[in-house]
Structure 1
Amino acid sequence: MPFHVLIDYDNLSYQDTSRQLIDLSGKLISKFSPTEIKDKNITIRLYGGWYENNNITRKAQNLNAEIMRDFPRTEMLSDNKTTVIVNIELATSLTSAPRIELFNTFRRRGFPSGVQSHNPRLKGCLITNCPIVEVYNFFQLNKCNTCNTIRPEHIIFRQEQKLVDTMLTSDLINICQSNRIVSVVSSDDDLWPGILAGVMGGAKVYHMQTKPRATPTHYSRTVTANYFQKNL
């Protein structure tokens, strides 16, 4: 089995998601040394909301096009000598059940109830005809002050990912049981239970932070071995 790198794609910085996948791949692989990665083959799995209902999203289509064009490819480890072969795939199913596609992982939700706003005039806005005042009125009146037709729920929605964290966690535990080593790329503390389960089961987990931070000590102090932090 190859060395797996599990990436929480939407947890990456804007700078990293703006990169081509070949740039992200090179940056990531260069963080590992030959003593850490023994396998010559590396599989990077990208976790995100790749399906809206049963339809693949535009973001997923664009990433797939990059993957088809640029991978597999050879990358160098931190010693600038040792080479590995890198493949990338979108995580649309579990590693334990690869033939079962998990759809509806990207969803649009309506305008949330209970949203309030402050009057910008009371917060220091002194500009006559400032457009933000009309935004305030839009929310206060719950409709457009000009056309009297458009309401907030007509034009404002939220984007959500579903199943993604649990897919990554499930794969993390499954790979830890079978391969005894894995890397997770995320600064989302929701993944900590899966990391802890892998480490406590005897696997090595390389946790690569996507933000300039470390795992909170009230989590990291619960493991004394086999847990290694890096920064992307």
Structure 2
Amino acid sequence: MKTLIRTGQCAKPGCSTNSSNLVYRHEQKTVDTMLSCDLIHGGYAQYDVVVLVSGDDDFLPPLRTVLLQGTSAIRIHPKRNGTRTSFPQGGGKFFEVDL
């Protein structure tokens, strides 16, 4: 491991592992975090409604924050989803729609 970190190559003969195919940075989390911040900002900016097109439950906490700020939210699921989310909504109304 020390050699791999220092040189970027596996020290074992015949090993093709290198740092570029071993270490993977998952960029999607950055996008999710930025979108969560935008949603929360929408709640604090007191927009009338925010619309999210995603079935990802990772966005439920920021959506809840939006609702607690009194801003309504629409969550559009790109794929049909029979389950619906239920949580305290504060002053905002929450709608879920399947495409």
- Structure 1 length as normaliser, TM-score? 0.31
Residue equivalent to 1:195? 63
Higher Rg? 1
- Matched to 2:81, the amino acid is R
SS in 2 for 1:206: strand
Q: Pick the structure with more strand per residue.
A: 1
Alignment partners' CA distance in 2, 1:211 and 1:169:
21
The alignment of Structure 1 onto Structure 2 pairs a total of residues equal to 83
Gaps of 5+ in 2: 1-11
Gaps of 5+ in 1: 1-142
TM-superposed deviation, 1:223: 3.4
Alignment partners' CA distance in 1, 2:82 and 2:75:
10
Residue equivalent to 2:33? 166
User: Percent of aligned positions with the same letter in both sequences?
Assistant: 29
TM-superposed deviation, 1:213: 1.4
CA shift digits 1:148-207 (9 cap, x unpaired):
6243x3474545114222211111111122213110111111111100011111111010
- Structure 2 length as normaliser, TM-score? 0.65
Alignment partners' CA distance in 2, 1:168 and 1:182:
12
Task: Give the alignment's Cα RMSD to 1 decimal.
Answer: 2.7
Q: Pick the structure with more helix per residue.
A: 2
Change in Cα spacing, 1:197 to 1:221, as seen in structure 2 (3 Å) is closer
4+ long deviations beyond 6 Å: none
